[in-house]
Amino acid sequence: MRIVLFCENRYAVDILQPMQTECDRQGGHEVLWYVHAPKIKNFPLADIVKWTDSIQKVYDFKPDAIFVPGNIVPYYLPGVKIQVFHGYAAEKKDHWVIRRYFDTYFTQGPYFTSHFEALAKQYKDFEVRETGWTKQDWIKEHLHDFDAEKQQLLQKYGKKRIVIYAPTFSPKLTSLPFMKQPLEDLLQKEPDLLLIMKFHPLSAIQWTDEYRAWAKDRTDALYIEASENVTKYQLMSDVMISDTSSAVYEFLLLNRPVITLRTIAKDIYWENVTDENQLQSAFDRALNDAESIKKRQWIVENYDPHLDGKCCARMLEQAADYISRHGVPEKRKLNLWRKYKSIKTFGKVVR
């Protein structure tokens, strides 16, 4: 297949990289990355993959399939347009919005599959296939890659466990303005903890600067720059502290404890507090409470049980199956508003 890996935002790079790995492993695929220059200033794979920041070149490439972990893809591009999602945050309303850009949705697990199948019956212009999520392949392959680095950090700072603080960037949902003192209190009461802070690249500078300064010269807290891959530090951590972030579900799928502050999730399968001063008691429950452990297991079984390292292989198989049944679409039919959004965001092409 001729495949486009479509990156409108920086986070899409880490989500789609396992697809490149699987395409290379299988052989026989020609892969082109699209990198949206206004939002991605430095493409980290620039020297090792075939890529372009020109929508015209994507059009001229004539892809058979386009994999998109975002909300929009130009309707006028050829190829089956495939939504592969940018996370597990089902509580965010836009996760369920059907914008009519996609021919098929590749879902992570039974919970998402059932919901999108219901939407498919309503809209009648896209298909749903359950494949698992791309990043789980990377996690399967690299699950223990950072064990030695973790032990080096723990030995260096004289600690026994790592807790990661990874909040969302959304101004209305982020816990950043409230969490510094509770984290300080937690570190004092739990002297065996090493705190790693990894913030979203879009987090407000005023807060990232404050936490960076707070962590400077400490022996119990590390500030990690936004450009680094959060998944690495999730794999190194024993506990996560967050709020309303899709990173919560990625961590739960490792079957490890999570504590959030004022999450907007309707169904909560972890420890959530509405008062930041309750962080310490929530920390104790997350580690030891049998009910918390049971809830985490439900997430694994329903959000993404496909932890076999073969999610990308299933995606390629399902993309080929779609094409075998429908052919390669020349473009996607859309209303005028959605067409305008495509052109405004990505520009026009010469056909």
Tell whether 182 and 86 lie within a shared domain.
Answer: no
Question: Does 266 score more than 90 pLDDT?
Answer: no
Question: Does 92 score more than 90 pLDDT?
Answer: no
Domain residue limits at 158: 145-303
pLDDT digits (tens, 9 = 90+) for 291-332: 888 888 899 899 999 999 999 999 999 999 999 999 999 999
Tell whether 213 and 250 lie within a shared domain.
Answer: yes
Beta bridge partners of 34: 6, 52
Tell whether 124 and 26 lie within a shared domain.
Answer: yes
Reported residue count of the chain is 351
DSSP conformational letter for 39:
T
Distance from C-alpha of 68 to C-alpha of 4, rounded to nearest angstrom:
9
Q: What pLDDT score was predicted for residue 179?
A: 96
Tell whether 65 and 191 lie within a shared domain.
Answer: no
Q: Which position has the token pair 């992570």?
A: 108
User: What confidence tier does 87 reach under pLDDT thresholds 50, 70, 90?
Assistant: confident
Domain of 331, CATH number, reads 3.40.50
User: What confidence tier does 228 reach under pLDDT thresholds 50, 70, 90?
Assistant: confident
Average pLDDT of the chain, as a whole number: 94
Tell whether 260 and 329 lie within a shared domain.
Answer: no
pLDDT digits (tens, 9 = 90+) for 111-149: 999 999 999 999 999 999 999 999 999 999 999 999 999
Tell whether 27 and 159 lie within a shared domain.
Answer: no
Secondary structure class of 44 (helix, strand, coil)? coil
How many domains in the chain?
Answer: 2
The dihedrals phi and psi of 175, each to the nearest 5 degrees, come to -95, 0
The answer to whether 123 and 98 are in contact (CB under 8 A) is yes
Query: Considering all CA atoms of the chain, what is the largest pairwise distance in Å, rounded to the nearest integer?
Result: 65
Provide the percentage of residues in the chain whose pLDDT is more than 70.
100
Amino acid (one-letter) located at 351: R
